[in-house]
């Protein structure tokens, strides 16, 4: 349960060498089996699921009151890997409160931020020390395009909430693929 009163004292958190936020009050462990149908190559997905159901990413979060005036801090460790030719990625979401923006700060590894809104789309390359801005209203997802964990810190409004269903139904208009060792950003319609 989130606390119902606003925070009234400063505090600090630490991000360890691996990117784990300490302390974290909630964590997410996302395996491939929890992302069924999100990768374009269903046969490659089935093959991986028949194996060890890989861990795709983890989130370490310090929960805050669900209030617009508060800021939630979390880190994401997005592991390297591919489903067929498609790089490991997060599920992606809109914020439930659509007009809540977010800031990402790259800590290690390499990736892409993919955003989408009403048929428009953009990608933003991210690496260590990149500050990437997710504008209000845009669905957002990250993709690990490297061979080591892509780790970033996120800061977002306490009342933002996460709507996974809408973008899952719509689908992101761009996919990030490994084409002969190069990163290719491919429109969904051109697969």
List residues binding ligand PAN (CB under 6 A): 59, 74, 76, 90-93, 102, 140-142, 154, 156, 162
Q: Omega of the bond prior to 23 within 30 degrees of 0, cis? A: yes
Site for Zn ion in 63-122 (CB under 5 A): 102
Min dist CB 102 to ligand PAN, Å, is 5
Q: Give min distance, CB of 180 to ligand PAN, in A.
A: 28
Q: Which residue lies nearer to ligand PAN by CB, 36 or 162?
A: 162
Question: Minimal distance in Å, beta carbon 153 to ligand PAN?
Answer: 9
Dist CA 66 CA 152 (whole Å): 22
Give, in order, the Cα–Cα distances in Å from 98 to each of 47, 162, 163, 187: 36, 9, 9, 24
- The one of Zn ion, ligand PAN, none whose footprint includes residue 90, by CB under 5 to 8 A per kind, is ligand PAN
DSSP state at residue 137: T
Select from ligand PAN, Zn ion, none the partner in contact with residue 86, using the beta carbon and a kind-dependent cut-off of 5 to 8 Å. Answer: none
Taking the C-alpha atoms of residue 120 and residue 131, their distance in angstroms, rounded to an integer, is 21
In the complex, the smallest distance separating the C-beta of residue 152 from ligand PAN, rounded to whole angstroms, is 7
Q: Label residue 36 exposed, middle or buried (CB < 10 Å: 0-12, 13-18, 19+).
A: exposed
Q: Please report the sign of the dihedral spanned by the C-alpha atoms of residue 162, residue 139, residue 166, residue 56.
A: negative
> Whole-angstrom Cα distance, residue 124 to residue 72?
22
Q: State the number of binding residues for Zn ion (CB under 5 A).
A: 1
Q: Which does 175 bind (CB under 5 to 8 A by kind): Zn ion, ligand PAN, none?
A: none
By beta-carbon proximity to ligand PAN, the closer residue of 85 and 102 is 102
Residues lying near Zn ion in the complex (CB under 5 A)? 102
């Amino acid at each position: 349960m989130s606390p119902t009163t606003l925070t009234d004292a400063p505090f600090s958190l630490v991000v360890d060498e691996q990117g784990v936020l300490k302390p974290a009050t909630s964590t997410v462990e996302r395996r491939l089996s929890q992302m069924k149908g999100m990768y374009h190559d269903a046969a490659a997905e089935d093959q991986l699921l028949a194996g060890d159901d890989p861990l795709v990413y983890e989130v370490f979060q310090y929960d805050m009151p669900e209030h617009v005036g508060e800021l939630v801090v979390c880190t994401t460790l997005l592991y390297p890997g591919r489903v067929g030719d498609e790089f490991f990625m997060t599920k992606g979401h809109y914020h439930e409160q659509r007009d809540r923006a977010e800031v990402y700060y790259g800590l290690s590894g390499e990736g892409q931020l993919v955003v989408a809104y009403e048929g428009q789309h953009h990608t933003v390359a991210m690496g260590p020390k990149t500050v990437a801005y997710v504008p209000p209203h845009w669905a957002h997802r990250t993709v690990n395009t490297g061979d080591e964990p892509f780790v970033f810190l996120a800061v977002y409004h306490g009342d933002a909430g996460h709507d996974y269903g809408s973008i899952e139904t719509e689908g992101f208009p761009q996919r990030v693929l490994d084409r002969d060792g190069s990163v290719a950003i491919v429109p969904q319609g051109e697969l």
